[in-house]
Amino acid sequence: MARGGEAQLSQNFYGFRCPAVELIVRQAVATKISQTFVTVPATLRLFFHDCFVEGCDGSVLIQSANGDAEKDAGDNLSLAGDGFDTVVKAKQAVEAACPGVVSCADILAMAARDVVVLSGGPSFPVELGRRDGLVSRRWQVAGNLPGPEFSFNLLSWIFRKNNLSVTDMVALSGGHTVGFSHCNRFAKRLYFFNATHRVDPSLDPSYAQQLMQACPVNVDPLVAVNMDPVSPTVFDNGYFRDLVNRRGMFTSDQVLFDHPLSKPIVNGFAVSEPSFSSAFAQAMIRLGRVGVKTGNVGEIRRDCTRFNS
């Protein structure tokens, strides 16, 4: 089904029924970014988390009174509210112009591209025509999202089952250049690594010290740290330079520099921002095709946070 759906996506899907949709979404996203930069990493991460569970169908946006939707799963509890709010605001603006025409899944895909562009990253065409899914279950999330302690093999398996290559995986990980993380997601590397080493020896020692200052033991769980310490608000290739210098925040970041299949790709992106930008753009297009619903499958939600019926 994903194959059939993929073939039906097109850049000009709303050309007749909502010709200004890209402009409307871009303006809503720009307004939101002007209020808080958190919008950028939050929206990008929301798109990844949507596509990796049930496909790119807006299922992560559903709110459940019973706490049993995707967004209630442990792996999604750290998704920042600004990502959800961006989609809701953009959907309201689109509905005012073209009611009942554009899916929440497509709005999220456009918004993810727009936050990249508006923070200095590459632009790329977004294929449209996705419909919103009719299923959002908390229990379907576990095991389908990359975790901060994942090995290279586990990471590449998750990407491969979504038709994404090792190059796509490395490029998409570069989205961490504008991300941030809560201390508890990487504290093990600083204080409880293993019986031999308290601190993960693969971490640059001065970077480890920097992280310890930001994240002392028993730190407030709400404290967050930028993943790119040098240019956290610019979408650039700084993430890859950090990996080469052993300043990857997560184990799952640093393994990309340690594995022979991905190390040359990391090195290439670290020295050439255009190479990274091009690969990231292509990977985002491929990510946007994962498990899409088209035609008569799914629905066009009126409200992104709840199913129509």
Catalytic residue IDs? 49
3-state secondary structure of 250: coil
| C-alpha separations of 103 from 11, 57, 92, 131, 309 in Å | 14, 9, 12, 6, 15
- Asked whether the beta carbons of 288 and 6 are under 8 A apart, the reply is no
- Asked whether the beta carbons of 296 and 129 are under 8 A apart, the reply is no
3-state secondary structure of 134: coil
Beta strands in the chain (DSSP E): 180-182, 224-226
Q: How far apart are CA 13 and CA 102, in angstroms?
A: 10
- Asked whether the beta carbons of 32 and 267 are under 8 A apart, the reply is no
